[in-house]
Structure 1
Amino acid sequence: MISLVSIDVVAIVVPVRNEELLLPRCLSALTAAIDALSAVPEPDRPRVFVLLVLDRCTDLSARVAAHWTNFSCHEIEAGAVGVARRVGIRHALDLPLHSRTDVAASAAGIWIATTDADSAVPPNWLVTQLALARNGAELVLGTVQPDNDLAVTELRRWEALHTIDEGHPHVHGANLGVRADLYLAAGEFAPVDRDEDVLLVASLRDLAVSEARTALIPVLTSGRRVGRAPAGFADYLRDHVDATQLGSKAEH
């Protein structure tokens, strides 16, 4: 039987690697998604904490992030997205959310949400994840949609070959939510430079978690061909959309 839990805290972690141009879009979208939670009545409205993990940035990403004073930043020199997500979540779970006297919520009451600095979440991103979580989902897997960096003809090819429905098969670190106790039980994000999201989901499935694979919260992400992470979405677009074989890869 699925046990329903109360989500008291949402920890959002965003790895950032030289994204000064796209980071404002990301942070503005997160702000809108957080603001949408104001419609959730007390006492069901969770506290929200956002941590930006600046990973080996050599551009002005840190300066851009500093304009969002409600968000926290943590700098590392890993050069690996799996490390950035892992360290960021550990840091977020250890930090007080309001004050040093604030009582920490149990891990089962914390929802971890992840996205990327080159992406923009929809306004209903958190509201929908929390609704699913409060109805028994322990893992939420959303979809992504390339932005206008993808040429019109390529975007049409994407849409023709990448039909998104409820129950979709895709795994994207840019659109993922998980209950913190199960995230920890699954061994956390692996400290790798690629496929950290797929590896985590495989471990969560080994635990037989209850998952929701939804198309209700599509995240807009960069359609560029040269990305910041090896084997990331940019490589996927180049290898699959360009080759007109988009449907051949189940994940990413």
Structure 2
Amino acid sequence: MKKIGVVIPACNEEAYIERCLLALKSAQLYFFQYFKSIENLPEIQILVVLDNCTDNTAVKVQQMGIQAISCDFRNVGKARHLGVQQMIGQGCDWICCTDADSFVQCDWFQVMSQHQPTDAICGVVELDQWDHLSHKTRQAYLRHYQDSMGHRHIHGANLCFKASAYVNVNGFQQMECHEDVDFIHRLEEAGAQIVWSNQLRVTTSSRLSSKINAGFAHFLQNLELIQATKKTISLCK
């Protein structure tokens, strides 16, 4: 890890982007303070990929002094890939991915450095709010989710890897969703070393609205629907 690049795809995320970037800046400062005695500390570059943004996301990114590039893909796989290519082109040998509606914990960079050497790290996520979800949905989610070392969850909101490993398997594909899962599965098939860590943590939005009929928000929406259906069936008996 000589130069770290962080890639954040964003499509109309003005409600969340400041929270995301402030957390990354805090994690960057924490990392530098923690390792201040080490020579040749890795440089950290943060990049937001503005994909068909029509709101104030770009303005907020600019106000925070964060590097950004624009595209009109309307496709998270293509947008994430564009950002990774940009970071590799700037000399980054370690790439981190998170999402605009998520925020990293302050020790994010520290933890990934402690897991070295490896080809990739898959971290875990926790939800930012539960109030709008039923108690049954929360129970079902917590039963499903493996918040432990050795888990098998894959989140584009909390994923990092060697640039060379990314290039070796041709990176993220042009997918509207699950480009992260596809990428990690190809890394596994290539025999890459992957750490499945619950120490690398990101908090993500528990919103139920989604721009596509898939992904994490869609998963939560379906889970809520399933629990509501079970309740209705139980009341009808």
TM-score between both structures, scaled by the size of structure 1 = 0.84
Matched, 1:141 2:135: no
**Which 4+ stretches in 1 moved above 3 angstroms?**
154-157
Equivalent of 1:129 in 112, 125, 135: 112
Task: Give the residue type in structure 2 aligned to 1:124.
Answer: D
Equivalent of 2:54 in 52, 58, 67: 58
How far is 1:194 from its partner?
A: 1.0
- Looking at structure 2, the residues matched to 162 and 15 of structure 1 have their Cα atoms a distance apart, in angstroms, of 25
My pick for the range that moved more, 159-168 or 111-120, is 159-168
Aligned 1:50-89 pairs, distance under 5 A: 50-69=46-65, 71-89=66-84
Aligned to 2:235: none
Alpha carbons 1:158, 1:241 under 8 Å: kept: no
CA spacing shift, 1:176–1:8, aligned 2, 3 Å: same
- Looking at structure 1, the residues matched to 212 and 162 of structure 2 have their Cα atoms a distance apart, in angstroms, of 25
Aligned to 1:28: 22
Task: Give the residue type in structure 1 aligned to 2:74.
Answer: G
Task: Give the residue type in structure 1 aligned to 2:45.
Answer: F
Alpha carbons 1:80, 1:229 under 8 Å: kept: no
Alpha carbons 2:146, 2:152 under 8 Å: kept: no
- Looking at structure 1, the residues matched to 76 and 224 of structure 2 have their Cα atoms a distance apart, in angstroms, of 23
How far is 1:242 from its partner?
A: 3.5
Task: Give the residue type in structure 1 aligned to 2:85.
Answer: R
- Looking at structure 2, the residues matched to 152 and 33 of structure 1 have their Cα atoms a distance apart, in angstroms, of 32
Equivalent of 1:228 in 211, 216, 221: 211
Alpha carbons 2:10, 2:50 under 8 Å: kept: yes
Task: Give the residue type in structure 2 aligned to 1:137.
Answer: T
CA spacing shift, 1:230–1:47, aligned 2, 3 Å: farther
| Unaligned 5+ runs, structure 1 | 1-6, 96-103, 245-252
Greater strand content = 2
- Taking every aligned residue pair, what percent have the same amino acid on both sides? 27
Aligned to 1:101: none
- SS of 2:166's equivalent in the other structure is helix
Deviations 1:62-105 (A, max 9, x none): 01111211x2000000000001100011112223xxxxxxxx46
How far is 1:176 from its partner?
A: 0.2
How far is 1:137 from its partner?
A: 1.7
Alpha carbons 2:123, 2:198 under 8 Å: kept: yes
TM-score between both structures, scaled by the size of structure 2 = 0.89
Alpha carbons 2:8, 2:48 under 8 Å: kept: yes
Larger Rg: 2
Task: Give the residue type in structure 1 aligned to 2:17.
Answer: L
Deviations 1:152-172 (A, max 9, x none): 623344224324111001100
Task: Give the residue type in structure 1 aligned to 2:9.
Answer: P
- Looking at structure 1, the residues matched to 99 and 60 of structure 2 have their Cα atoms a distance apart, in angstroms, of 15
Name the count of aligned residue pairs.
223
- Looking at structure 2, the residues matched to 20 and 35 of structure 1 have their Cα atoms a distance apart, in angstroms, of 24
Aligned to 2:87: 92
- SS of 2:198's equivalent in the other structure is coil
Aligned 1:1-20 pairs, distance under 5 A: 7-20=1-14
- Looking at structure 1, the residues matched to 204 and 79 of structure 2 have their Cα atoms a distance apart, in angstroms, of 19
- Looking at structure 1, the residues matched to 153 and 120 of structure 2 have their Cα atoms a distance apart, in angstroms, of 13
- Looking at structure 1, the residues matched to 204 and 42 of structure 2 have their Cα atoms a distance apart, in angstroms, of 26
Greater helix content = 2
Matched, 1:45 2:26: no
